[in-house]
Structure 1
Amino acid sequence: MALPPLPEFPVDILILYYSRSGNTESLARQAARGVERVEGAQARLRRIPCPDGQQPADGDPEVSIEDLRECRGLLLGSPTYFGGMASAVKRFLEDTSGLWFRGELTGRPAGVFTSTGSMHGGQETTLLSMIVPLIHHGMLITGIPYQQPELAHTQTGGTPYGASHTANDHPRLSRDERELTRALGARVATIARQLT
């Protein structure tokens, strides 16, 4: 699809994630690669802090409300716990009511990603649980269309609702999972470029 002329400054796509084992962080890094496939877009990786205070010494910076305010698109990632997003992600989203009240995220594209320990661990319900508050913010939800060839033959993660990883027998992301996550990142960045 044709893109408008390059903006004066790169379109900033926030890739926001919570990860304890590193699987969701791996997806976030693939999403960043996808964003940076789009000329005129740049990825801003941020993490949601662990509630117990155990943070990696050399990880991405912690997210701030300003990161959300400044982004032109969002990719949100969480591990799956009992078929839903992690409580740390939900808590962070609940603290964004000021942005919601002012409509600051309205009209910006967003996509979601998750990782599970097993094939039937609740990937799609987790993705849907993350989409709901983004809809309340007025964001434009984008998934992965079936024209993306890896979606038709993945044997691990990947859904039309968002990118995913199944970690049980596959500690590393599969080729399909990597490509689907990059495709989602590129899709959000492309839509953000078109809207900027």
Structure 2
Amino acid sequence: MTRNPDRRATLIDAAIEVLAREGARGLTYRAVDTEAGVPAGTTSNYFANRDDLLTQVAPRVTERLTPDPDALAGTMKAPRTRALEAELLRGTMDRISQDRSGYLALLELRLEATRRPGVRTELTKTMSATLADNIRFHLDAGLPGDETTVVLLYLAMTGLVIEQLTLPEALAPFTADGLIEALVARALPDD
């Protein structure tokens, strides 16, 4: 297999765009080659099979959605209150909204994981690690709430993100910001 890390990342990013636009059934080597603007056959030189390509998507989406460390450090200078938690959740929503394709590809990958055991195993590892990192960050930062609070916020935000990316009109007249504020107010203990 060819080992150019930049080319590999380009192909994975192209796969993310194809997944978001065409769904898992549209994810072919040819579609990825076309999206990436590379010669036909390039993707097959980097990924042994579709499952290999699919399992690379979730870690890349996670990487793309990770906050900028400098921006996060600035945000974390604030007191550890509900307001800070709401700001962090709004930041998550903003990053997801800016990388809509990434999250939609992740949703497609979740569906594909129900049909492909290998994809399910790898996606479970990635998502479990991400949740564990979120819990650790929350607790280490001294934010209000406990481990269960983080899981509940994660689950609620997952639902909100799905609605915002797929059927935002269904939430009208509610806004994402307003719902995040209400979620934090109800899920976290008083400051």
Above 0.5 in TM-score?
no
- Higher helix content, 1 or 2: 2
TM-score (norm 2): 0.30
TM-score (norm 1): 0.29
- Higher strand content, 1 or 2: 1
| Greater relative contact order, per chain length (Cα 8 Å cut-off, separation 6+) | 1
Report which of the two structures shows the higher radius of gyration computed on alpha carbons.
Answer: 2
